[in-house]
Amino acid sequence: MQVSYSSERRPAASVIAELYRRSPLYRPVDDVERIASMYEGSNVVLTAWDGESLVGILRGWSDGTYDGYVCDLAIDPDYQKAGVGRELLRMATSQNARVQWVLRASKIAAEYYGHLGWKKIENGWFWPRES
């Protein structure tokens, strides 16, 4: 396994949707246009590749100086527990130590972030999407 990481390489929305299906990460995988739009609106996109195969992706937003939000972290099941997610998160959080990052964990990854040093927060709120 030779994984390389990139902050420059953005895969096609169909490739991202396939990774979401495998990972599994609940996203609108049958609406490739919506996935493309999600990525067009994100200024933090970090990818992990094994050759030409996308094996991990992190999508988020940051103002670059104060706040950051991790929207998605999807890792191919064959690469889970190999440090891929850890490295993508490290890449995001090391961009500027003054940025506070937050995320909303999926149910299947609810305990994953704690062992990486992330602190649980209880003071969050959300406005649900309509679809």
Give me the residue spans of the domains in the chain.
3-116
Q: What pLDDT shows up at residue 61?
A: 97
Within its chain, how far is the Cα of 43 from the centroid? Answer: 12
Mean pLDDT calculated for residue range 2-18:
97
Q: Cβ distance 65 to 98 under 8 Å?
A: yes
Helix, strand or coil, per DSSP, at residue 122: coil
For 22-76, the pLDDT digits (tens) are 998 889 999 999 999 999 999 999 999 999 999 999 999 999 999 999 999 999 9
Residue 74 exposed, middle or buried by CB count within 10 Å (0-12, 13-18, 19+)? buried
Q: Cβ distance 42 to 96 under 8 Å?
A: no
Q: Specify the CATH number for 3-116; select among 3.40.50.1820, 3.40.630.30, 3.40.640.10, 3.60.15.10.
A: 3.40.630.30
Distance, CA of 5 to CA of 27 (rounded, Å): 23
